[in-house]
Amino acid sequence: MSHRGPEPTARSSENGIETWDLTVPPSVEAFGIDTDVPDGARTRVGAYGSEAGAWDPVRIP
């Protein structure tokens, strides 16, 4: 999963598998949402996309 922004506190990685804990209360810290953006900037919070390229395995329990 591609992530741009601060390091999410709800994300961990073990043995090359990335895990997101979706049971935590939603917050900018938990999901690493960058709040320091210029006015009028387009942001995609919680967006999913499909792009060509190599990805790390992800587990969402």
Q: Which amino acid, one-letter code, is at 29?
A: E
Instruction: List C-alpha distances in Å: 29 to 19, 25, 55.
Output: 16, 10, 23
Is pLDDT at 53 greater than 80 in this prediction?
Answer: no
CA distance 25 to 31: 10
pLDDT in tens, 1-19: 666 778 889 888 888 888 8
E strands present in the chain: 11-14, 17-20, 58-59
pTM of the predicted model as reported, rounded to 2 decimal places: 0.53
Spatial contact of 46 and 5, defined as CB atoms under 8 Å apart = no
Residue extents of the structural domains in the chain: 1-36+57-61
